[in-house]
Amino acid sequence: MQAKYKRVLIKLSGEALAGDGNVLDFTKLDRVSEAIRECVAMGVEAAILVGAGNIWRGARNGVGMNRSRADHMGMLATVINALAIEDSLLRNGVDAVAMSSIEMTEFAQVFVRDKAIKYMTDGKVVVLGGGIGNPYFTTDTAAIIRAGELDVDVAILAKNIDAIYDKDPRTNPDAKAFCTVDYDYIISHKLGVIDLAAAALSSENSIPLLLCALEDPQNIVRAVCGEHIGTVVTHTK
């Protein structure tokens, strides 16, 4: 297989990393690491940004809490996931380093753009925790911001859903999946599978985006190689 993209950012859904009754499915984590190892072996430079829906979903969980405090808890939860991913990558023979937008140097390096790019060009996978470091931003939005900062060729959102649909497929059996869709449609129809702020940022900054299912981690390899899976989000000309 041959990679289509040289540098990628992969956003991993925290919720999709959970196992039955467990915060983390370590078998799936290792399968994700194996997929990343395949990408690195093809010469791909990779960063991973992880969510925390398996542990804490910020304001959605913290009903009645101060919003900033609830989001700070979510940021900490993403660091837990980042450390688990870093550990899995290292155990599977992939050189990796965890970086956090929030200073906690006993666990992870502080995110610095130039340092992260140097790690990637040297063949290390950079695992990003802490979101963007500020409340009121989802990890989807953080992924797009980091994708822009790191000059990636594509941002791959690996979620617990296989594509973008015209309506919620969990409640609408007639929902139709898009092979491609443009940002204007996502924003105007308020399709919730991607955070609308993330969609707007990606559109404004011309960051290519692909959404696929994490259920099969090999989808990451397929996406990197340019196979037609999931949904490609395009820019209106």
User: What is the pLDDT at residue 54?
Assistant: 94
CA 159, 161, 167, 172: dihedral to nearest 10 degrees?
-150
- pLDDT of residue 236 exceeding 80: no
Asked whether residue 180 is domain-assigned, the answer is yes
Contact 214, 12 (CB under 8 A): yes
Asked whether residue 1 is domain-assigned, the answer is no
- pLDDT > 90: percent of the chain: 84
User: What is the pLDDT at residue 109?
Assistant: 97
What is the rounded CA–CA span in Å between residue 72 and residue 132?
11
* pLDDT band with cut points at 50, 70 and 90 for residue 52: very high
Lowest mean per-residue pLDDT among 33-42, 136-145, 185-194: 185-194
The number of CA neighbours under 13 Å toward the Cβ of 171 is: 2
- pLDDT of residue 132 exceeding 80: yes
User: What is the pLDDT at residue 192?
Assistant: 83
User: What is the pLDDT at residue 32?
Assistant: 97
What is the rounded CA–CA span in Å between residue 187 and residue 227?
26
Asked whether residue 15 is domain-assigned, the answer is yes
Which CATH number does the domain housing residue 135 bear?
3.40.1160.10
- pLDDT of residue 135 exceeding 80: yes
User: What is the pLDDT at residue 237?
Assistant: 52
Number of domains in the chain: 1
Looking at per-residue pLDDT, the higher value among 63 and 140 belongs to 140
Asked whether residue 72 is domain-assigned, the answer is yes
Asked whether residue 86 is domain-assigned, the answer is yes
Which residue segment(s) compose the domain that 206 sits in? Answer: 7-234
- pLDDT of residue 74 exceeding 90: yes
Asked whether residue 46 is domain-assigned, the answer is yes
Asked whether residue 2 is domain-assigned, the answer is no
DSSP state of 111: P
